[in-house]
Amino acid sequence: MIRECHSWEAKEENAIQCRICPHNCVLKSGQKGYCQVRQNVDGCMRLLVYGKCSGLSVDPIEKKPLYHFYPGSDVLSFGTHGCNLGCQFCQNWTLSKRDVSEISLIDAPPEFIALKAKESHCRSVAFTYNEPIIFSEYVEDVSAACRKEHIKSVLVSAGYINPEPRRTLLEHIDAANIDLKAFTDSFYQKYCSGRLQPVLDTLRYIKNKTSIWLEVTTLLINGLNDSREEITAMTAWIKQNLGADVPLHFSAFHGAYQMTDTAPTSFKSLQTARNIARAQGLRYVYIGNVADQEALTTYCHQCQTPLIKRNYFQVDQIHVRQNLCPSCQTACAGVFVD
């Protein structure tokens, strides 16, 4: 299935301009955008991966990572192909950067995804593995089908999108984890072929203009985005613009794609970043890709009672009742019950 896209405009001589993201690609007939899935077909923009997915997987919601959105529940995860950023350290480059002809895509119309989620007893569906923004029309239709089955929609994204399509896309989403790759524009330009400001705008929009549950992830890379100064500036911005209750995940980097020779993130670097974030007043700060029980546990920010204990992606204990700490009745931010 190839579907007409929204968020584009006609130009002269049968050219068109895509408006889905800040690249704003101008395409002659037959050309594909930077993302490789939005194409000018006879003067009309078409989505080449509509109704196609690269596989379905039932995951714990904690794997997205989302720690405060129906913890312990299952989510049906899937992606397509392509990306609108060019991260040299991409952890899913086999989907996002390989030619579409090298990837096996299966037919998966929106109603099929919703049915699979229902049959698998999943509480939500996650658009993940590659960038969902570039197949937003597919996201919107899958979300609508899932909503009829009382299944939530989760967006795992880098947040690199223009304002108008952002508003349309997010109307269909219940929870999001946004990948804040660094806190300098120079990093985004050099290592991601993008800019920082559109991502910050997306984060502010989600938090301040929607009811979407929001969490943030930063993949720390030794010597590139993990300095004390940068982490301090980033976490101060999060506290001021998103608030103290937005969970922040620091993940460990492992060599991938064009950065296979870069050393894995040290545990010390992850701990330092977490300590800085907590010192800034962020209440829920986690470390990913490491075995550290303390850094995976959700604590009451008032009395420090353990509320949710995790072992990697497995939830061992949940003590939150109606969003409240059982010891002091302080509210824990999140979505724990319908």
How does pLDDT run across 145-185, given as a tens digit for each residue? 999 999 999 999 999 999 999 999 999 999 999 999 999 99
SS3 263: coil
**What is the length of the chain?**
338
325 found inside a domain:
no
pLDDT confidence band for 84 (50 / 70 / 90) = very high
Domain with residue 165: its CATH number is 3.20.20.70
Q: Do residues 16 and 62 share a domain?
A: no
Find out whether 216 and 202 touch, Cβ atoms under 8 Å. Answer: no
Helices 110-119 and 136-148, packing angle to 10 deg = 50
- What are the tens digits of pLDDT across the range 101-115? 778 899 999 999 999
> Which pLDDT score is estimated for 338?
58
Are 41 and 57 contained in the same domain?
A: no
Determine, yes or no, domain membership for 293: yes
* 99 has pLDDT over 90: no
Q: Is the pLDDT of residue 323 over 90?
A: yes
Q: How confident is the model at residue 312 (pLDDT cuts 50, 70, 90)?
A: confident
Judge whether 34 lies within some domain.
yes
Average pLDDT for residues 116-136, to the nearest whole number? 98
| Domain annotation covers residue 330 | no
Residue 327 belongs to a domain:
no
9 burial (CB, 10 Å; 0-12 / 13-18 / 19+) is: exposed
Q: Once rounded to an integer, what is the mean pLDDT over residues 295-314?
A: 95
Establish if 334 belongs to a structural domain: no
301-325: average pLDDT: 94
Report d(CA 173, CA 169) in Å as an integer.
7
Higher pLDDT, 94 or 320: 320
Domain that includes residue 115, residue range? 52-318
For residues 34 and 112, state if they share a domain: no
Q: Are residues 105 and 16 in the same domain?
A: no
Does residue 23 sit in the same domain as residue 84?
no
Say yes or no: 42 and 191 in one domain: no
Examine the domain organization and report whether 38 and 109 are in the same domain.
Answer: no
Q: Domain count of the chain? A: 2
- pLDDT exceeds 80 at position 98: no
> For residue 185, what are the CA distances in angstroms to 10, 21, 61, 196, 198?
31, 17, 31, 5, 10
Tell me if 281 is assigned to some domain: yes
| pLDDT of residue 124 exceeding 80 | yes
Mean pLDDT of the chain: 95
20 plus 82 within the same structural domain: no
pLDDT of residue 254 exceeding 70, the answer is: yes
Residue 323 lies in a domain: no
26 and 56 share a domain?
Answer: no
Q: Are residues 40 and 109 in the same domain?
A: no
Claim to verify: residue 203 and residue 278 sit in the same structural domain: yes
pLDDT at 290 over 90: no
Residues 40 and 60 in one domain: no
